[in-house]
Structure 1
């Protein structure tokens, strides 16, 4: 017996294991069929196997049973599982299943009618997937269904009238699909409904069904951007339980019915961006004691604001861009909850309530572009929360209250274009959080306080057109983040302090029409980002510094009306100036040949000792003839000298090339590779000569190096550490971007660890203490920007442009959604999108990329703005908070470039950029005036759809911009045969974008 016991034991264990492995119950087998029907790249179903101890799937990830060990599955939750495949109808064989969630996956195909056999289903969430086709009419046959969410898919067709037969439905969300037709009146029959969310669908133009008023249990009505027309029906006043009413971004007309004031439980009302007219109901608002947020901006309302409305305990009040008039009721200041008040773009008059801000923690105040007068309320920042104070273009008078000096929370101040006077309180100059301080066009006096040294976040200082006096203090040089300084038309005197040369971020310096004297600082070349320099009509003397010709991005130079003497620096010829004015000085000698043209004559008038071959500039009968002989002799001398210099230079270059090739110290180079290499660093080093340069810019030079195996690579040789901060574009190969001290490390860190077909590949990097090289795959078609805005743009027909847009979007989506933690590029632009031989696109130049900490609400703070003019998201410029929405805005600008063929900034737009030009032109001239004439008109419908995606991405409100994953999805849909929500109607485009003249902030 004992000799056989081990064998019996083994047999018993084997039978036991075998029995467990093949005794999974029937519901478990159904779920395994679900698993087999999906692609599962992340292994979500890894524990969905048949080796279970209790015969049931109750312990599998995402599976819930009614009771432990019972085996009856009641819930299947695959939310955020990253699975792909069609909807598994086998789930409906689980007779007790009440809950299904497949939120945010890649569920595709159409939704089968068999779904209606899930007779016990209570909760169905298929939001944020790729489902297409029509909504099944049979869904109403689910007798227990209470929650239905299909938001963020691609369902099309009409909402079935049969949906009105739901027996217990409480929530229906079809937000952000491609649903057409009209909102069916039958929805008014779902008496149990609490939430009706149909926003962001391309419905046919139609009215709000009055039957919606029958939904007496409704708490949320969300019909944003549903192409609604006509008046707001009176019947909505019967929705006594309604808490959220959102009818924004439609074409509603007429006045607000008085029945709206019967919504006694409503907390938020959103009616912005419609065509509503008339006056607001004068009475009845006092019944709406729950109302906290109201946004009726961007309509055509008239009359005064009802006092009853202002007597409520409001938190946010948006009335901007209407035609309201009269005085703002004083009682508004009694609200203890008010944190946001935006009234800009109306005709309000009189003074602001004197106690405004006294009883509440006011955060945002914008009353710009009105007719307000009187003093600034001194309690606006009493509770220490005020961040934005925007009051431009009014008639405010008096002084800036001393209490503002302690408003440490302020970030943006715009008091320009008023009638304010007196001295600015000393402490007000040094508020530590302020990034924008605008006092332009008032009557302020006194000096700039030395406390300005404490304004560490100041990037824009505009105090022009006042009566400020005294000298500029050395403390101005401590504002190392200052980008623009406008102080023209004041009474300043004395010399410019040397400390001003420390403002390395400065792009604009405008001090014209003052009394400055002394010389222009000779070290002005340290202001490497300077784009505009205006020192006209002062008393500057001495020579124009030779170094001024080294300001490579300078395009506006006005030194007229001074006492400058000596010769004009020849180095000015190196600049690409749009405007040059050196008139009315004491300059002598010859005009540099580049400017010795008649079109520049006004730039040099009033300099008696100045002469050149410009007709009318010089006096005397023989001057022109004499000067001609002089120039002839000079030309001969220069020609002979040039021949000698070129010959000597060629000999020296060849000698140095030979010498360098023999003297490379291999031991000093450090190689870090990120892929398997078929070349060595020495093959790269031997080919870095000027003949192979294909681009140059702020970050360095780019070389094309052909390897011994016949393949080519692109090599970026970075400038030394002293040359940084410029933002010029490389002509080919690798794009460009703003350069920061750790640009090399950022590029290596980012590209070294990511892999994607639409991200440029970094092969390796080589470095010594004095030189850094980055070796990339070579892109033979250069950058999108160079090709699109050159004579070769004809190569980019619409199918190629569409492909480029999709490729670049997929690359950015990878950075935002698939990298952990996510990466924000921060300099997305056409010059940083490179094209291979087949015009496949790669996102390039990660020198300013930033890892985003998802725990940081609203984005990560940065100290310096990165990016390129015309591409920078509006909120980034003044909040210095970076997140994925900044990249999405920049990518939207790239889409507009692809559609229009125009640059992001251009003199033809005036003060606008491409985004505003497109929107203005669409409104005034229509689609045809926006499209690139090089594009074939047969693609007009598809181009129109892509244009609308671009407008979505460039929405001024970050919350309205889609994610990059959503952008990819939209673009891919446009390229398919299925109709999409972005189709034009009657040849007109209805974008989601709206342009606000001030600072709009919407409560979503």
Structure 2
């Protein structure tokens, strides 16, 4: 039995209990006060409305407690503004502080040094600036330091290597421009190191990194790495992900570098690596190898075949030679195989697809011979076969008839023979079948897959009649069947295809008359039936094809008159030559623009002597039996009338001629391209009737000059309207466009100038500018806009790729590089097939080395809504400003919105980031007018996210135009990340990093092959 406690001890216990309760209550009150003060200091964001003085702090979603005291503060994406207050460390037990993705400013907050128990600090994706402090090692207990996506500059302090407890270190997406400290190699506990997307001063990988024995993720793309990969990295025995992409590494990849026992992924693409792949690869856990877009050479190592867990093998865009090792085709896990654009030879291993569920097989642009592997689709998962531009022979494998998931087959420009297996025509998912440039034979099927939108079979040996059942090919958009042996009449049912835009049947043996009635060729823009045996008259119903831009019926047996209704057509190209047409040329075509359109039609006549045709007046006089006397009287009367008109004009201007001396302007012509017209063709047509646009400095004319140009666009600038800036713009545009040649940059044909004005003569773009097609209906009236026409997604993607190719050429292939500085949808012009061309170089800047003081611009250029945000604080010009502007164009293409049509103060880029940042579905941002959005949802979502990356506020985090172009070309879903990446995102909280930046490389892991080649 326990003796009773003395009374004084009992009183002591009561006192202690009451005192501790009071202290505890005071402690809790102090922490609530600190949190409420933080809320106020950060601008009282609405996201923290639940923080109040009545509820318990430990119940707030952003707060976690242990023993009643705050240990974790998660304030991710809360729209916090201002700086970090010094009293934040009054939270004495704070261990984890997450301030990720806000708008906090200032230099690195040294106040964190007072948080004595801090283990994890995440201030990534904010607006912090300046250098990291040299005494950062005061944070000695840190296990995770996340500083990515800020504006830190200078060197990474070597003292960071003293944070010996660090497990995760992220410094990605900053403005570091010094060296990479080798002292990081002292962090013996480090498992994740992210240095990506910085502008380091041409660093080499420190050999000391080989000491990081626990490292699982080494993430260092786009940081200007040079030199060779050090041998010491072979010591990283726990490495799971190695990403050294987008750098300048060189030299051979040594065999010992791949002795990692647990390496799951290797990313070395888009470098300038040279040398051979190692002959021995011992890393048997590898699931993905991507070393594409380098300058690697030599043969593909046979030991790749030992990697039985390998799922993705991307070796494309290199200089590999030799044959593909047989053992690679026997890998049981292989899903994606891409080796296109190399110098590979020999036959394709026949066991491809037999041992694995192969999804993508891309071997185009090599020198392969022999047959396609028979079992490519044995696993039932194949989505694409892309093998064009090789020397492949034999027949198509009949096993392809079972590929229900296949989307595209592209095998053009080979030596295939035989008939197309009947089941291929009706594959349920196929949308693109490109077979041109082979020796295929057989007849067209009566039925094809409902999804088939593009069929290219030109330069083959197909024969027989076009079946009337072709009317069931309802989604066919492009049909190119030139140079085959088709015969018989063109069935009227053919004209029922309402989606058809391009039709080539030239170079066949078609006969009979043209269809007299057009059912539904409402979208047709190109019709080429040349070099056949067609006869009869040209039906007047062809004049109903109001979208038609290019009509070629040459080298047939057509007779009768050209329908006068053709004057309503807006043709940019017309060829009716080498027929048996009679009568008068319609007035709208009786000019020099169409001088070669009617040759070899002996019975046609012209009133303007086009192409040396008969003069209609003379011909009519003789044919009606007029006597010479009547003809003489007509000539005399005409002469009298003409003289009277001349005399009247002379009298009217007599005083003017006497008082004002005649001034003759001598035109100087500077030619940049081969031309079949002279300045006289241009100057004679500079009339108000040909004006198609007016700007601040002059007018733009549409002038017909005949074939091959058809029309040209002439920009006239009056010298007396030019200020110094405009004079500079004119000089810039002439200098740039006159020196570059690219299919996606508008051609400057010549320049005419005299003392009075300047003329720039360009190729004419019949579909004018992209902004009219995207936003024309919102502006009520737009010249040239087809009523009710909406750009479908394939056309929009084609336009994006074309414009990206033009900008990529300017940035990466011109020496010195050219920055456009005014990229916008109104400066992207479209030709007759909606191919995009970059125009308006008046603001362009060539990045030549400037003398001191000459490199800055004295004024901001560009267009509202397309400005890169760094314009507000820097005058430095580089290619990243074009990338930002192009990102806005991508967002326009996907959303249909204008760059500045949003409510409030947000432009399109800001609206898109806000929409995405709030977690709203990307689907809700897409243009509702796009047809069949579900079919293209993955592509549209990809381009939307690419637009976000391009419009990042941090210039260094934007991709280059070369990367943008590759992503657009390989436009695939984003969710196929390597498994190790997914694990890293969950375990180490790098989701924001990978979600925001993985778009730059996601096309390397994508599973679906989409036909984006326009």
Name the TM-score class by shorter chain: 0.5 to 0.7
Deviations 1:308-341 (A, max 9, x none): 1222121111111112111111111221110000
**Per the alignment, do residues 808 and 880 of structure 1 end up closer, same or farther by CA in structure 2, a change over 3 Å counting?**
farther
Offset at 1:735?
8.1
CA RMSD of aligned residues (A): 4.7
Alignment correspondent of 1:972: none
Offset at 1:44?
2.5
From 141, 144, 147, the counterpart of 2:144? 147
Q: Does 1:470 align with 2:464?
A: yes
Distance in 1 between residues matched to 2:69 and 2:573, nearest whole Å: 79
**Per the alignment, do residues 194 and 418 of structure 1 end up closer, same or farther by CA in structure 2, a change over 3 Å counting?**
same
From 595, 603, 606, the counterpart of 1:601? 595
**Per the alignment, do residues 255 and 161 of structure 1 end up closer, same or farther by CA in structure 2, a change over 3 Å counting?**
same
Distance in 2 between residues matched to 1:853 and 1:51, nearest whole Å: 28
Q: Is 2:370–2:393's contact at 8 Å kept on the other side of the alignment?
A: yes
Q: Is 1:150–1:175's contact at 8 Å kept on the other side of the alignment?
A: yes
**Per the alignment, do residues 946 and 73 of structure 1 end up closer, same or farther by CA in structure 2, a change over 3 Å counting?**
closer
From 15, 27, 34, the counterpart of 2:31? 27
Offset at 1:399?
0.9
Alignment correspondent of 1:532: 526
Helix, strand or coil for the counterpart of 1:803?
coil
From 862, 870, 876, the counterpart of 1:801? 862
Distance in 1 between residues matched to 2:949 and 2:124, nearest whole Å: 25
From 264, 269, 288, the counterpart of 1:293? 288
Helix, strand or coil for the counterpart of 1:325?
strand
**Per the alignment, do residues 880 and 595 of structure 1 end up closer, same or farther by CA in structure 2, a change over 3 Å counting?**
farther
Deviations 1:83-134 (A, max 9, x none): 3332344322222111111222323333211222222111222222332222
From 30, 37, 43, the counterpart of 2:41? 37
**Per the alignment, do residues 959 and 395 of structure 1 end up closer, same or farther by CA in structure 2, a change over 3 Å counting?**
closer
Helix, strand or coil for the counterpart of 1:51?
coil
Q: Is 1:234–1:257's contact at 8 Å kept on the other side of the alignment?
A: yes
Q: Is 1:591–1:610's contact at 8 Å kept on the other side of the alignment?
A: yes
Q: Is 2:916–2:922's contact at 8 Å kept on the other side of the alignment?
A: no
Alignment correspondent of 2:437: 441
Helix, strand or coil for the counterpart of 2:348?
coil
Offset at 1:571?
3.8
From 542, 553, 567, the counterpart of 2:561? 567
Deviations 1:902-954 (A, max 9, x none): xxxxxxxxxxxxxxxxxxxxxxxxxxxxxxxxxxxxxxxx9999997777765
Offset at 1:191?
1.3
Deviations 1:705-760 (A, max 9, x none): xxxxxxxxxxxxxxxxxxxxx958749935889987999xxxxxxxxxxxxxxxxx
Distance in 2 between residues matched to 1:400 and 1:159, nearest whole Å: 58
**Per the alignment, do residues 309 and 962 of structure 1 end up closer, same or farther by CA in structure 2, a change over 3 Å counting?**
closer
Distance in 1 between residues matched to 2:36 and 2:577, nearest whole Å: 84
Alignment correspondent of 1:305: 300
Q: Does 1:584 align with 2:578?
A: yes
Q: Does 1:235 align with 2:222?
A: no
Distance in 1 between residues matched to 2:474 and 2:916, nearest whole Å: 24
Helix, strand or coil for the counterpart of 1:956?
helix
Deviations 1:39-84 (A, max 9, x none): 344x3222222214xxx52112211111xxx321110111233333
Q: Does 1:162 align with 2:140?
A: no
Q: Is 2:383–2:1008's contact at 8 Å kept on the other side of the alignment?
A: no
Distance in 2 between residues matched to 1:858 and 1:188, nearest whole Å: 45
Q: Does 1:557 align with 2:618?
A: no
Alignment correspondent of 1:886: 943
**Per the alignment, do residues 216 and 877 of structure 1 end up closer, same or farther by CA in structure 2, a change over 3 Å counting?**
same
Alignment correspondent of 2:217: 220
Q: Does 1:421 align with 2:435?
A: no
Distance in 1 between residues matched to 2:238 and 2:781, nearest whole Å: 57
Distance in 1 between residues matched to 2:948 and 2:57, nearest whole Å: 45
Q: Is 1:892–1:954's contact at 8 Å kept on the other side of the alignment?
A: no
**Per the alignment, do residues 842 and 96 of structure 1 end up closer, same or farther by CA in structure 2, a change over 3 Å counting?**
closer
Q: Which moved more, 1:418-427 or 1:517-526?
A: 517-526
Offset at 1:268?
0.6
Q: Which moved more, 1:517-526 or 1:117-126?
A: 517-526
Distance in 2 between residues matched to 1:488 and 1:794, nearest whole Å: 43
**Per the alignment, do residues 579 and 156 of structure 1 end up closer, same or farther by CA in structure 2, a change over 3 Å counting?**
same
From 46, 51, 54, the counterpart of 2:49? 46
Offset at 1:292?
1.3
From 171, 176, 182, the counterpart of 1:174? 171
Offset at 1:787?
12
Distance in 2 between residues matched to 1:461 and 1:207, nearest whole Å: 50
- 1:434-513 alignment to 2 at 5 Å? 434-452=430-448, 455-513=449-507
Alignment correspondent of 1:431: 427
Helix, strand or coil for the counterpart of 2:321?
strand
Helix, strand or coil for the counterpart of 1:175?
coil
Q: Does 1:614 align with 2:609?
A: yes
From 401, 405, 422, the counterpart of 1:409? 405
Offset at 1:27?
1.4
Residues paired across the two proteins, number: 742
Q: Which moved more, 1:610-619 or 1:346-355?
A: 610-619
Alignment correspondent of 1:326: 322
Helix, strand or coil for the counterpart of 1:349?
strand
Offset at 1:175?
1.8
Helix, strand or coil for the counterpart of 1:155?
strand
- 1:846-995 alignment to 2 at 5 Å? 879=936, 881-887=938-944, 956=967
Provide the TM-score with structure 1 as the length reference: 0.66
Q: Does 1:335 align with 2:376?
A: no
**Per the alignment, do residues 87 and 569 of structure 1 end up closer, same or farther by CA in structure 2, a change over 3 Å counting?**
farther
Offset at 1:413?
1.0
Alignment correspondent of 2:64: 64
**Per the alignment, do residues 727 and 506 of structure 1 end up closer, same or farther by CA in structure 2, a change over 3 Å counting?**
farther
Distance in 1 between residues matched to 2:62 and 2:935, nearest whole Å: 44
Alignment correspondent of 1:384: 380
- 1:692-771 alignment to 2 at 5 Å? 730=776, 733=779
Distance in 1 between residues matched to 2:553 and 2:523, nearest whole Å: 18
Structure 2 unpaired stretches of 5+: 1-21, 624-630, 639-693, 695-771, 792-823, 830-837, 845-856, 872-889, 975-998
From 239, 253, 267, the counterpart of 1:256? 253
Q: Does 1:785 align with 2:826?
A: yes
Q: Is 1:828–1:891's contact at 8 Å kept on the other side of the alignment?
A: no
Q: Is 2:923–2:941's contact at 8 Å kept on the other side of the alignment?
A: no
Helix, strand or coil for the counterpart of 1:881?
helix
From 327, 342, 366, the counterpart of 2:362? 366
Helix, strand or coil for the counterpart of 2:47?
coil
Provide the TM-score with structure 2 as the length reference: 0.65
From 201, 204, 226, the counterpart of 2:201? 204
Deviations 1:349-386 (A, max 9, x none): 11111110011111111100111111111110111111
Helix, strand or coil for the counterpart of 2:356?
coil
Offset at 1:798?
6.8
Helix, strand or coil for the counterpart of 1:281?
coil
Offset at 1:223?
0.8
Distance in 2 between residues matched to 1:449 and 1:606, nearest whole Å: 37
**Per the alignment, do residues 424 and 582 of structure 1 end up closer, same or farther by CA in structure 2, a change over 3 Å counting?**
same
Offset at 1:592?
1.9
**Per the alignment, do residues 460 and 203 of structure 1 end up closer, same or farther by CA in structure 2, a change over 3 Å counting?**
same
Helix, strand or coil for the counterpart of 2:59?
coil
